[in-house]
């Protein structure tokens, strides 16, 4: 397990400059943490929202938007994990999904249709890597920082389970599912404004088939953060979809 620091128990520091930082209440709660005031968060949220809408592939801006607007959704997700046996174990053990923690050769050798094999197939077909997920910076709670990190690292798992590619249409569909599931404003914004980049034909498919399915699946599914995916590699994707409550893709 990994013991977390609470806001009431900041990490001890040494040195005059660090003491001044503590006196001002600017605690660095985890590596890379940047303490910010509510006003600074609001400015970061506004700026990152504009940039993310202009260029949805600016993952750095999407990440900042998620951290600066998730003050209500993240505690709710954390509480869901704490009240679920598998989710609670994830919070205690703090697993990470990175190339350094994945046995890619073993996953490639799993049967077709298994979560591990299809996850690796998704990564290779779409030329993406779990290592591109940015670490949190602006979340002022160490445990909540892990929650948003976990959300980011299972995002590609959602693509795998939903059968969606990483093109704009696929990303919008996954965002609709995640918006219903997590309540994160970043997901809601991506779901609402992502379609402006799509053609009329894709918009029709999105509106008539994909969005209704994504919303129904999001409402029906159990919390996606309560699944210890690293211990489910051999489970068939169809079986895991049924267990979570995700309807088969249209």
Q: Report pLDDT for 61.
A: 87
Angle, in degrees to the nearest 10, between helices 85-93 and 142-153: 110
Q: Report pLDDT for 60.
A: 83
Angle, in degrees to the nearest 10, between helices 59-69 and 142-153: 140
Digit-by-digit pLDDT tens for the chain (250 residues) are 444 433 333 343 344 444 334 434 467 899 999 999 999 999 999 998 888 777 777 878 888 888 888 889 999 999 999 999 999 999 999 999 999 999 999 999 999 999 999 999 999 999 999 998 889 999 999 999 999 999 999 999 999 999 999 999 999 999 999 999 999 998 998 898 888 888 999 999 999 999 999 999 999 999 999 999 999 999 999 999 999 999 998 8
- Whether residue 105 contacts residue 233, with contact meaning beta carbons closer than 8 Å, is answered with no
Q: Assign residue 6 a region: left if phi > 0, alpha if psi is -120 to 50, beta otherwise?
A: beta
Q: Report pLDDT for 82.
A: 97
């Amino acid at each position: 397990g990994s013991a977390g620091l609470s806001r009431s128990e900041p990490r001890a520091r040494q040195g005059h400059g660090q003491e001044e930082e503590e006196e001002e209440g600017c605690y660095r709660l985890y590596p890379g943490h940047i303490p910010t005031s509510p006003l600074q968060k609001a400015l970061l949220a506004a700026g990152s929202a504009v940039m993310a809408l202009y260029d949805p592939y600016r993952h750095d801006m999407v990440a900042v938007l998620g951290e600066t607007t998730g003050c209500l959704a993240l505690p709710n997700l954390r509480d869901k994990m704490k009240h679920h046996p598998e989710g609670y174990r994830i919070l205690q053990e703090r697993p990470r999904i990175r190339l350094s923690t994945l046995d890619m050769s073993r996953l490639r050798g799993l049967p077709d249709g298994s979560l591990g094999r299809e996850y690796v197939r998704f990564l290779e077909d779409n030329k993406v890597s779990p290592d591109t997920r940015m670490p949190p910076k602006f979340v002022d709670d160490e445990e909540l920082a892990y929650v948003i990190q976990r959300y980011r690292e299972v995002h590609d798992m959602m693509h795998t389970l939903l059968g969606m590619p990483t093109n704009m249409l696929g990303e919008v569909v996954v965002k609709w599912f995640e918006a219903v599931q997590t309540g994160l404003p970043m997901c809601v914004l991506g779901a609402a404004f992502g379609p402006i980049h799509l053609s009329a034909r894709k918009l029709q498919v999105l509106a008539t088939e994909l969005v209704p399915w994504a919303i129904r699946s999001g409402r029906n599914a159990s919390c996606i953060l309560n699944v210890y995916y690293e211990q489910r590699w051999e489970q068939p994707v169809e079986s895991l979809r049924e267990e979570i409550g995700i309807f088969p893709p249209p």
